[in-house]
Structure 1
Amino acid sequence: MNALLNTANRHIGSFLRDDEGAQVVEYALIIAVVSIILVVALRGLTGASFSDFIARVETCLTGGACA
């Protein structure tokens, strides 16, 4: 029983010290913030509402005329 508790304690300690997943979360948050900033900046440059901006991007991506 003691060996089982020692093994479990080692595995739990190893799990708590592992911080590889934190880097993924940090990168995801950075990408999300940069994406929001880009959308807001591009919306301000086009002078259109957000739905008009999305419609223009969709038209350009589907092979329509981009203005």
Structure 2
Amino acid sequence: MKRLIDVARRFHDDENGAAMVEYSILIGIVAAASIVAIIAIGGWVGSQFTGLCANLSGKGVSSTGGAGGTC
């Protein structure tokens, strides 16, 4: 009976699993925030290029090297 109580006490005092779960949650939050930031920045950059194309009114350089390219 004393051995069972001793094993239960050691199991209760072990916090390695709890720390691993906390770090896993923290890594998940950082990863999600990074993905959201990348998507937001990508949308902003895309809108900047769309605005630039609208300002040029389609008169940019085309892929063949001449004027009159499309966006």
Provide TM-score, normalisation by structure 2: 0.58
1:18 and 1:46 mapped to 2: Cα distance?
Answer: 44
Q: Which runs of 5+ in 2 are unaligned?
A: 45-71
Q: State the Cα distance separating 1:26 from its structure 2 match.
A: 1.0
* Pairwise CA distance, 1:14: 0.7
Larger Rg: 2
Moved over 6 A (4+): none
Aligned Cα RMSD in Å? Answer: 1.3
Identify the residue that residue 63 of structure 1 maps to in structure 2.
none
Q: Which has the higher helix share?
A: 1
> Where in structure 1 are there 5+ consecutive unaligned residues?
49-67
Measured in 2, the distance between the counterparts of 1:19 and 1:27 equals 13
In the other structure, the counterpart of 1:24 is 20
Identity of aligned residues (%): 27
Bigger relative CO (Cα 8 Å, ≥ 6 apart): 2
